[in-house]
Amino acid sequence: MEETFKALWITEQSDQSFARQIARRNIDSLPPGEVLIRVHYSSLNYKDALSASGNRGVTRNYPHTPGIDAAGVVAESQSPAFKAGDPVLVTGYDLGMNTSGGFAEYIRVPVGWVVPLPNGLSLRESMIYGTAGFTAALSVHQLQKHDIKPESGKIVVTGATGGVGSVAVGILAKAGYEVAAVTGKPEAGDFLRGLGAGEVIGREEVDDQSGKPFLKARFAGAVDTVGGNILATLLKSLHYGGIATCCGLVQSPQLNTTVFPFILRSVSLIGIDSVQCSQEVRRLVWNKLAADWKLEQLDGLSRECTLDELPERIDLILNGKLKGRTVVRLAS
């Protein structure tokens, strides 16, 4: 095994700006942990771009290597749970935030963070999903746990062309649900129908400004990735007993609602967190992503880049110019 490895290395400059470079780091400089992993693929999420730009809400101390997702092969393990050569993945927890992350050829992490790569999924495919796809799957898992079935009625997905939304549309369609995809991109209809959406709705149509406590009940469930007034509108548009999941804040972190949908239509709002989610749920959901929920269109959702190309991709995601998922190749 090599003693040094390649990594994206973010450093703070004397003028308080942050520089991105590809550096060689020493394996000994990695944090303590039972499992050393040779990373083959990672993926780019918005949170990584914040960490790579010096956002102290995500990463407190620099120099730092971001990357909240990683998939690879165990190089060394101090735990009987894994042995050298096992294919594994890590998403969430503190990876890439204040722990050296997946934009590197190696990570070292606590054994409790490691998920065995499920049968039916390659390392690369697992990173096309990454945290975004896992979050979409967690949302669908919660709808099903709360008894929302295909025959219950239509499911609405917001931010539908985004990382979480696009995978949610695909999984729901694959699981037999009728899906209404909400998008701000009029040109994205074919893409969303290709993923399985039966209906494509313009964003303004679910951004109700009427102030009414209820709207026509249109949906049995909602996978919301945007928050704000769109989530408030969906809560007013659910059938009796409807379920909305909430994972994101792209429109706004504010939620201005009345209690009426909850107390008169028995609507429920379920929070989704991919970071601290239990190992039991993690393994169950990853196994679904590898089997019943595995998307035929997975390859078409992603573009690949190398570690050397990553700094420019970070600029694109920060400027809202990146489409779909970006997989980062660290070993072939």
The residue among 33 and 162 lying less far from ligand NDP, judged by its C-beta, is 162
**CA-atom Rg of the chain in angstroms:** 20
Q: What is the nearest approach in angstroms of ligand NDP to the Cβ of residue 5?
A: 27
Write out the binding residues for ligand NDP, residues 209-228 only, by CB under 6 A.
225-226
Are the C-beta atoms of residues 228 and 249 closer than 8 Å to each other? yes
| Measured distance CA(133)–CA(140) in Å, rounded | 11
Q: Taking CB under 6 A as the rule, which mask of x and - marks residues 37-76 in contact with ligand NDP?
A: ---------x------------------------------
Q: Does 133 bind ligand NDP (CB under 6 A)?
A: no
The residue among 85 and 202 lying less far from ligand NDP, judged by its C-beta, is 202
Q: Taking CB under 6 A as the rule, which mask of x and - marks residues 81-120 in contact with ligand NDP?
A: ----------------------------------------
Q: Does 183 bind ligand NDP (CB under 6 A)?
A: yes
Q: Taking CB under 6 A as the rule, which mask of x and - marks residues 143-182 in contact with ligand NDP?
A: ----------------xxxxxxx-----------------
Nearest to 307 by CA among 127, 40, 60, 76: 40
Q: Does 272 bind ligand NDP (CB under 6 A)?
A: yes
Are the C-beta atoms of residues 88 and 75 closer than 8 Å to each other? no
| Measured distance CA(184)–CA(174) in Å, rounded | 23
Cα 113 to Cα 99, 132, 311: the distances in Å are 12, 17, 27
The residue among 205 and 273 lying less far from ligand NDP, judged by its C-beta, is 273
| Measured distance CA(86)–CA(105) in Å, rounded | 16
| Measured distance CA(244)–CA(269) in Å, rounded | 5
